[in-house]
Structure 1
C-alpha cells in the first residue's frame, strides 16, 4: 500500500492492495493479525492522505522529540531565555 506513495497511483491501484491485506488478515486465525488489520483500517484516511499527497508531519514530530529530549536532559530550566537558546541550538542543522 505505501509503495504506491508518490507514484501517482489512482484509488483502485491503492485500494486493491489494501483489500488483499485486509482479506488476508481476516482469514488469519491470529488475534494479533486481526488487531493489526483493525488498526490499519482505523488509520486508513490518514494513510490514504499520505499516499495521495506524499506529505507527512515527520519533520515537526522530529523537532518536537529533540525539544523534549533537551528539556529532559536539563532537568528543567530556571531561565526561559536559556531554555529557548538551548532548544534553538539543538534544533538547528549547524548544531548537529
Structure 2
C-alpha cells in the first residue's frame, strides 16, 4: 500500500497518476482494512492538491524546514531578549545552513 502511494506521488503526468490511483483503489478494496479505507478517503479529499504537486512539483518543504529551524533557535535562545540580536542569529544560522 505504502509503495503504491509513493509511486502515485512520483508519477510524472496526470494520466500516470490516474492509473496509479486506480491501482491503489483496487488494493484498498482488496485489503478491507479500516486504515487503508481511511487513507483512500484522505487521498480522494486531497486529490486536487495531489494533482498540483504532480504537475508543478512544488511543495512546502523549504518553508517547513525554515520554520523548524527558527523554532529551534527560539528554544535555545537562553533568555536573550534583544530582538535585533535574535533576528541576526536567525539570519546567520539559516545562511550558514544553506551554504553547506
TM tier, shorter chain?
A: 0.7 to 0.9
* 2-structure distance, mates of 1:39, 1:47: 11
Equivalent residue pairs, number: 92
Partner of 1:78: 81
List runs of 5+ in structure 1 lacking aligned partners.
none
Query: Which of 9, 20, 26 is equivalent to 1:2?
Result: 9
Structure 2 spans left out of the alignment, 5+ residues:
1-7
Q: Confirm or deny that 1:36 pairs with 2:39.
A: yes
Q: Are residues 77 and 48 of structure 1, via their aligned partners in 2, closer, same or farther at CA, if it must alter by over 3 Å?
A: farther
Q: Does 1:60 align with 2:63?
A: yes
Equivalent residues of 1:71, 1:77 under 8 A apart: no
Separation in 2, partners of 1:39, 1:75: 41
TM-score with structure 2 setting the length: 0.77
Please name the residue that 2:5 is paired with: none
SS in 2 for 1:92: helix
Q: CA deviation at 1:22?
A: 2.1
Out of 48, 53, 64, the position equivalent to 2:51 is 48
**RMSD after superposition:** 2.0
Q: Normalising by structure 1, what TM-score? A: 0.80
* Poorly superposed stretches of 4+, deviation over 4 Å: none
